[in-house]
Structure 1
Amino acid sequence: MDLCMRRLLILAFLALNITQVNADTLTLKAGHPDTYVVKKGDTLWDISGYFLKDPWRWPTLWGHNPQIANPHLIYPGDRLTLVFIDGKPRLVVKQHLVKSVEGRIKPKNGAIPAVDLSLIHQYLNQNRVVDEQWLDGLPIVLSGESPSRHHIIDDIVYVNAKLPSGQKVLIYQPAREFTNKDSGEVLGREIIVSASGRVVDSGDISKVQLLSNLRETRVGFKVAPVDDDSLMPAYFVPQAAQTEGASVLATVGNIREVGKLDVVYLDKGSEDGVRPGNVFSIYRDGEEIIIGNDGVPVRVIDRTSYEKVLAYFSEDNVTKMPDIFHGKLMVFKVFDKTSMGLIMHSDRPVRVGDKLMIPEKLTLKGQ
């Protein structure tokens, strides 16, 4: 048998035994229920977790069902039933309705969200990553009517710009500068809302009254008008990310390790094709093992100074172990060169530098 024919047979064998898993292929969780009654506080992600190994695939579980044209029209009290349509698992719903005072039929409670928005609400409205040049062009808080160094709600602060009277503004505290760990490229400056305010007196030095405060406002903080970029939408439809080469850029609060329901920054943004709802798998680089002079494998933590030099200069002596799966995250806010994600599942703690991979697309039959 020639080499060409042998290759064709191998390809044919693989085609019979490997199934492409795309957005429409679902794997049910062992021991899944046949029915589920929606409760107050549920999310679409949580409910799908009772049925699916990958809960982020809930749009496929529900989206193609004509009885649920919009998954956000699922309410507490609704009964969900798992059925199979053309051999594919789907959820159908029997809605729980009550009559209003006017006699109209309406849902008993508010529709359940995709994820628990309370986990990310503050980040949707407070955290941004912006271009340094844009930030430098903003006016700043010079001082205030109060002699205090810290200003809070109802205080009047002075801003070094002629702002339109009545204009609503946000006051930002400049925070960390983010850079790409490999290239050193500046990815942007993190800014965090400290307060909202309204211009009450316009002039070369404008007066702004603070309407709310999330943290104390100090001199040097930046002032910007409220715009659409600062108020991000809270609607997310999860889908497999398509951006390669991403990694965890930073954690909120500079915490060393984070886990489920914690928020992290990514080092990729809209310029790299990242979109709200993108789901990434989180992996830690596999350990690099070297073989010592005695032929015994040496782990990183056990290396001598000589072995560290040997590993640095000689790749032939290094064997990299497989990368280790740590969890999954969903992107909920995207900037030009960075984005923010919520860790939805974690097997192990997540750290800065962990790799973000496109969710797996191949699986063997029967897995």
Structure 2
Amino acid sequence: MKILVFLLALCVSLSGWAQTLTLKPGHPQSYVVKRGDTLWDISALFLDDPWRWPTLWGANPQIANPHLIYPGDRLTLVFLDGQPRLVRKASKRLSPAAQITPKRDAIPAVPLSVIEPYLNFHAVLSPEDLAQAPVLMGGEREAVIYAEQDVVFVDQALPLGARYGIYNPGQRFYDVEGDHFLGQEAELAAVGQVVESGEISRLLIHTSRQEIKPGQRLMPISENTLLSASFQPHPAPASLSGRVIAAEAQAREVGPLQVAIINKGHDDGARAGQVFAVHQPGTEVVETGSGLAVEFREPADRRAYDEVMALLADGRVIRLPEVYRGELMLFKTYDKVSYGLIVNGRRPVRLADKVLQPQPMLFGSSRD
């Protein structure tokens, strides 16, 4: 019975620790918000775990919505009931009219320039959806590649005045083992507007990001496509874990302010704003007869050197601890996959790395 009471008390104590913020050593007592700041940047000045900013700011009625913080505002660190909180003093306005700051001036959660292409125009579709999309057939100008202000032909009747994105097929996403298809990425090449509707429609190209050429697919751009970048970070649930399966530009490793894709989506409970800790899976080694440790490989993956070392091993396989790499915050989710921004990269994030619920740093502990 005493043991049970002790364990219950320990759980309550740990729960209290999890709600306690640990301020970063050398943190400022106040800070004036500058143009170009993000909520993550500011929180990182005060916390080792910037994803916990709702705890630092959200309980304060002066910052009930941290997305309403503007350049020039002064943030001051105070303690309420023993807990650190930020209070805001708005910058002075010259007139009543100037007190209404345009929404676009409020500082964003993370750098919008990095995630805006994914928020606005990227998509993940099944190959069937992509195959049924309208196809760019050619253009009024005889050319192999088209550019802005060109009028191109599309093989379907499209709504007059509607805006369409012209897409290239991007990466095909598979689970870590490579045998389970999760979705097809569609990458924006250009944006245009329907100027004539018919059996063959005409589309005026307004902006372009990549080459525009026959064979590309089109998808409508609507208000639902333009997702909001206003979200608060919160830890992913303990029941939701996954792997990094791809990265921007098909890179094999990425760092801070780069995009990674994980094998969990909306169907699995993934949501924008969830923060994951990224860990390198612990590698397996075998001990040799001389006490040396060599990397363990499955028989099908062994090289000749591995075969020789296996003969010297005593057969004892040891799994080394996982290595913390950083943190990833989801900003866009689909049925089976999600896009995340590396917001805190201690080490490069690589394909097949694990994504898990983050754990707050306690009493100045270090993950290194």
TM-score (norm 1): 0.89
Q: In structure 1, which of residues 198, 218, 226 is the aligned counterpart of residue 221 of structure 2?
A: 226
Percent identity of equivalent pairs? 42
Q: Give the match for residue 66 of structure 2.
A: 71
Amino acid at match of 1:166: G
Q: CA deviation at 1:316?
A: 6.2
From the superposition, tell whether residues 19 and 273 of structure 1 become closer, same or farther in structure 2 (CA, over 3 Å). closer
**Which of residues 243, 248, 251 in structure 1 aligns to 2:247?**
251
SS at match of 2:328: strand
1:317 partner SS: strand
- 2:261 maps to 265
**1:179 and 1:185 in contact (8 A); partners too:** yes
- Match for residue 88 of structure 1? 83
| 1:298 and 2:294 are equivalent in the alignment | yes
Output the CA distance in 2 between the equivalents of 1:315 and 1:285. 23
**Other-structure match for 1:197:** 192
Q: Secondary structure at the match of 2:48?
A: coil
Question: 2: CA distance between counterparts of 1:105 and 1:331?
Answer: 33
Name the CA shift for 1:56/1:365 in 2 (closer, same or farther; >3 Å).
Answer: closer
* Cα deviation 1:81-112 (Å, max 9, x = unaligned): 11111111101111112123x66645599222
Relative to the length of structure 2, the TM-score reads: 0.88
Alignment correspondent of 2:285: 289
Query: Aligned pair in 2 of structure 1 residues 207, 281: CA closer, same or farther (>3 Å)?
Result: same
- Counterparts in 2 of 1:306 and 1:104: CA distance versus 1, 3 Å: closer
Unpaired runs of at least 5, structure 2? none
Does 2:339 correspond to 1:340? yes
Q: How many residues align?
A: 358
Question: AA paired with 2:34?
Answer: K
Aligned to 2:169: 174
Shift of 1:297: 2.4
Residues 292 and 309 of structure 1: CA distance in aligned 2, closer, same or farther (over 3 Å): closer
Equivalent-residue separation in structure 2 for 1:338 and 1:16 (angstroms)? 35
- Alignment partner, residue 33 of structure 2: 38
Cα distance in 2 for partners of 1:87, 1:307 equals 61
Hey, what's the Cα distance between the residues in 2 that align with 1:178 and 1:315? 39
Distance in structure 2 (CA, Å) of the matches to 1:197 and 1:16: 58
Q: CA deviation at 1:295?
A: 3.6
Aligned-residue RMSD, C-alpha: 2.8
CA separation of 1:228 and 1:40: change in aligned 2, threshold 3 A: closer
Instruction: Decide whether the 8 Å contact of 1:292 with 1:307 is kept in 2.
Output: no
CA shift at 1:261, angstroms? Answer: 0.7
> Residues 176-198 of structure 1: CA distance to partner in whole angstroms, max 9, x if unpaired?
21111237221110001111112
Q: Distance in 2 between matches of 1:78 and 1:365?
A: 30
1:349 alignment counterpart = 348
Whole-angstrom distance in 2 between the partners of 1:135 and 1:230: 16
SS at match of 2:45: helix
